[in-house]
Structure 1
Amino acid sequence: MKLLLTSAGIQNPSIHQALVDLLGKPIAEANALCIPTAGYGHPQTNPTHAWRFISGHDECPMTELGWKSVGVLELTALPSIGKDRWVPWVRNADVLLVNGGDAMYLCHWMRESGLADLLASLQETVWVGLSAGSMVMTPRIGQDFVEWPSPTGRDETLGLVDFSIFPHLDHPQLPDNTLATAERWAAELQGPAYVIDDQTAIKVAGSVVEVVSEGRWKLLTP
């Protein structure tokens, strides 16, 4: 699976081009599935946020980019409909657009639904994460970002990459999201961590990791 891990979606031409590069085709020729699940787990979100993400009426461009088709994949529904139905939907998609919200809640339902087990076989599929949708791919999110009480009581996520992510650096509506806060957060982790603002994304293709930015970012190492 190829990854485009963003803080706030496709915010600028550099991130847009990185997406096209990973797809290997124009956006207008690509079929997308959007995953709103993470938005239901965070205490500061509500159903309006899910509608805005799905409909493309959001400040974080994802579904409104001009895809050939866009469908909705709600992970909490998957266990009740059977893999014979939903697995082909995922395999036929060129890209999965994954909403922000709560990374632990998203991680839980990726595992419960079976989507997490399927990811390794989706070698040409592009995963575009937005905030929590990006953080879920990391080994740990840090206790500062744990809002939904997972059954494990821990902060471990899927670990498809070997670094953690602190999103929304210097966001005007998140006054605590400073570099100093991120450095304290990173000190509790056991691996490298990228601190990224909303104009930054991390592009992962195989073993190659590239920061794509028109903003501010920093790599913190233990």
Structure 2
Amino acid sequence: MKLLLTSGGVTNRTIADALVDLLGRPIEESDALFIPTAQYGQPACSPVSVRNAIAGGLCDLGWKSVGVLELTALASIGADRWVPWVREADVLLVGGGEATYLAHWMRQSGLADLLPSLDETVWVGLSAGSMALTPRIGDEFVDWSAAEDDRTLGVVDFSIFPHLDYPDWPENTLASARSWATKITGPAYAIDDDTAITVVGDRVEVISEGHWEPLNAS
């Protein structure tokens, strides 16, 4: 699987160009599935925010088609229905919300087990949609009351502190990110909404028109 892990989505030309490179074709020739599940685990989100995410943001980039894949429903319809939908998609667009909740439903639905076989599929994560693939998110970002701890899926070997210097969240400073990283212990990145991380095989690359910093570098 090819990963485009973002904080705020496809917010500038550099990130958009990286997305097209990962797809290997224009956006308008690519079929997408949008996964809104993380929003349901985040107390700050609502039915209105889910609707807005589907109507805009990652879904509003000019895709050939966009479908919605709700992970909490998959176990009730059977893998024979939903697995072909995933395999036929060129890209999975994974919205923000609560990362431990998203990771939980990725396991419960079977999507987490399917990921290693999706060699050519692109995963575009926004905030929690990116963080769910990391090993840990830190207690600061756990907002789902049923989460046992801050562990997520560990698809990649680094953690992400998103929304660095976001104007509406004054606590998301570089100093806070550095403090957060001391409790994560593994490698990590602090990234703002104009930054993304691409992962293809063993190659990890930060692409940015904004501000980012590697943390816990050895």
Q: Are positions 1:66 and 2:62 aligned together?
A: yes
Aligned partner of 1:149 in structure 2 is 145
Amino acid at match of 1:50: V
Q: Distance in 2 between matches of 1:217 and 1:190?
A: 18
For the aligned residues, what is the CA RMSD? 0.8
Q: How many residues align?
A: 217
Aligned partner of 2:112 in structure 1 is 116
Amino acid at match of 1:24: G
Aligned partner of 1:37 in structure 2 is 37
Amino acid at match of 1:28: E
Cα offset, 1:70, TM superposition: 0.3
Q: Are positions 1:90 and 2:86 aligned together?
A: yes
Cα offset, 1:101, TM superposition: 0.3
Is contact 1:104–1:150 with CA below 8 Å preserved after alignment?
no
Q: Which has the higher helix share?
A: 2
Aligned partner of 1:164 in structure 2 is 159
* Long gaps (5+) in structure 1: none
Q: Distance in 1 between matches of 2:128 and 2:214?
A: 18
Q: Distance in 1 between matches of 2:184 and 2:59?
A: 33
* Long gaps (5+) in structure 2: none
Q: Distance in 2 between matches of 1:212 and 1:158?
A: 23
Q: SS at 1:62's partner residue?
A: helix
Aligned partner of 1:79 in structure 2 is 75
Matches within 5 A, 1:127-138: 127-138=123-134
Aligned partner of 1:17 in structure 2 is 17
Q: SS at 1:17's partner residue?
A: helix
Cα offset, 1:199, TM superposition: 0.3
Is contact 1:108–1:150 with CA below 8 Å preserved after alignment?
no
Matches within 5 A, 1:41-52: 41-52=41-52
Aligned partner of 1:125 in structure 2 is 121
Deviations 1:10-48 (A, max 9, x none): 000000000000000000110000000001110111011
Aligned partner of 2:182 in structure 1 is 187
What TM-score does the superposition give when structure 2 sets the normalisation length? 0.98
Is contact 1:38–1:101 with CA below 8 Å preserved after alignment?
yes
Deviations 1:110-169 (A, max 9, x none): 000000000000010000000000000100001111110345x11111101110000000
Structure 1 residue runs of 4 or more that deviate by more than 4 Å after TM superposition: none
Cα offset, 1:190, TM superposition: 2.0
What TM-score does the superposition give when structure 1 sets the normalisation length? 0.96
Q: Distance in 1 between matches of 2:98 and 2:90?
A: 24
